[in-house]
Amino acid sequence: MRLLAYLFIGAVSVMSLTGCRSGCPMPDVQDRETNAWEEQLERRVELRLDPSSTITIKREVHNIEIDVDAGRFADAFHQVLRDPNRRFGLIRVDRERRNRDKPFHVGERFQGRYELDEAIRKNVHGWWRRFFGDLVNTPGVKEWLCRIENEATSDYGIITRLELSPPAGEPYVLEYHYLAGSPIAGSSTFIVAPLGPSRCRLTQVFEYQELTLTFATFFSAGGLKLHDQVVMSQATQAAALVGGHVLTSDIPPEYTTP
């Protein structure tokens, strides 16, 4: 409950800067007109790290070893990330309609949506669970939660580097930078390096800078743990897809369970 409270505080902080827009554009709108969500996504600009900010630039690196050949794991990792039916903790990846069911490509934009309705269901209990469990399904509340997701608790990204067929012995790489609408600036890079015929290492490099002091407080108090949970979930699901397992990880076990 404490983490959820911090999340809402951070959301209010970000929305106070962006303003509260009417409507809630979603990626799964199936009308003939241009999807408003896609239009907004295309207008988002890349956020730059700012060394002059009062908030410091930070860098987190994690290594995960898997008992799968690097090429097979990299392909599985790619499949898992673009599967619309998968969730990583409470995060889902939303893509534009023209890109769905297709491989990622450099320049592609996407949204990593933190599903607040599921967060509420998982974090409230007893009478509160019965009350909120019904409440989050009402149209007005769903609209409000969706607006918070779009404007405050989501990451928006653009793929800037994608190496899925590197020379023999070289690593596979996926890198994306954060776009406006995200609560942080910076980048995430996933590197899959071969360690042998049936072993590889996934390195995740997260360089980031929170945009507000309130969100920086939330991120240091628990938000970064959510990020690590997502990374471990992605690695575990990719390994399982090809019959593999995570062998070692420097992410604390306490950080790997939502």
pLDDT at 127: 42
The 10 Å Cβ neighbour count of residue 7 is 22
3-state secondary structure of 212: coil
**Total count of domains within the chain:** 1
Beta bridge partners of 142: none
Residue with the bigger pLDDT between 13 and 56: it is 56
Mean pLDDT for 34-55 is 92
In a domain, 125, yes or no: no
pLDDT at 92: 85
| Type of residue found at 100 | R
For the chain, where are the alpha helices, taking DSSP H only? 2-18, 36-43, 70-81, 116-123, 126-135, 139-148, 213-218, 224-241
pTM of the predicted structure, to 2 decimals: 0.81
In a domain, 74, yes or no: yes
104: left (phi over 0), alpha (psi -120 to 50) or beta: beta
The 10 Å Cβ neighbour count of residue 119 is 22
In a domain, 171, yes or no: yes
CATH number at residue 237: 3.30.530.20
In a domain, 118, yes or no: no
- The Cα 198–Cα 254 span in angstroms is 28
Report the percent of the chain where pLDDT is more than 90: 56
- Answer whether residue 122 shows pLDDT above 90: no
- Answer whether residue 2 shows pLDDT above 80: no
Dump pLDDT digits (tens) for 8-35. 444 444 444 444 444 566 676 555 445 8
In a domain, 2, yes or no: no
Question: Residue 63 belongs to what domain range?
Answer: 45-111+155-255
pLDDT band at 228 (very low <50, low <70, confident <90, very high): very high
pLDDT at 154: 82
In a domain, 140, yes or no: no
In a domain, 78, yes or no: yes
In a domain, 238, yes or no: yes
Mean pLDDT of the chain: 82
pLDDT band at 223 (very low <50, low <70, confident <90, very high): confident
pLDDT band at 142 (very low <50, low <70, confident <90, very high): low
- The Cα 258–Cα 254 span in angstroms is 9
Dump pLDDT digits (tens) for 149-180. 666 668 999 999 999 999 998 999 999 999 99
Beta strand 199-210 with 109-114 is unpaired
